[in-house]
Structure 1
């Protein structure tokens, strides 16, 4: 399955996509907890799921997505690619 996420600025695309990846098993709980701790240290605790895709330091500091991201994971039934 190929998934492309588009939307208006600050509409929650990265957060929703990161949460979807987590809920589908594409990233483990320990990593999300690490992101949550790091985000809280920058005063952005609610950004833990967005950080699944937002890797650049500037993205994390400013709370915006600058570059496109690609994430691949596998579920019991599907290979999923998210852009």
Structure 2
């Protein structure tokens, strides 16, 4: 049985909110290494290699292509 925690992340545009949140989810075991590696490869193909953790939260192709989360 896992404890649930609600978290609110606020900040300016392009301040790294999605990247930080995605990295936290990964570090806490909410997403596996293979998935992160897949996101890293896909992001690199679009010239957005640093977006691998942000993509944990991005579900739409349009969000990923535009780099807006």
Q: TM-score, normalised by structure 2?
A: 0.90
Write 1 or 2 for the structure with the bigger share of strand: 1
Extract structure 1 runs of 4+ deviating beyond 4 A.
none
State the secondary structure of the residue aligned to 1:3.
coil
Q: CA deviation at 1:11?
A: 0.5
Alignment size in residue pairs: 65
Q: CA deviation at 1:40?
A: 0.6
Aligned equivalents of 1:55, 1:23: Cα separation in 2: 20
For structure 2, which runs of at least 5 residues remain unmatched after alignment?
Answer: none
Aligned equivalents of 2:35, 2:15: Cα separation in 1: 24
Name the structure 1 match of 2:39: 35
1:14 pairs with 2:18: yes
Q: TM-score, normalised by structure 1?
A: 0.75
> Which structure's relative contact order is higher, taking Cα pairs within 8 Å and 6+ residues apart?
1
Aligned equivalents of 2:49, 2:57: Cα separation in 1: 15
The alignment's C-alpha RMSD in Å is: 0.7
Write 1 or 2 for the structure with the bigger share of helix: 2
For structure 1, which runs of at least 5 residues remain unmatched after alignment?
Answer: 66-83
Q: CA deviation at 1:44?
A: 0.5
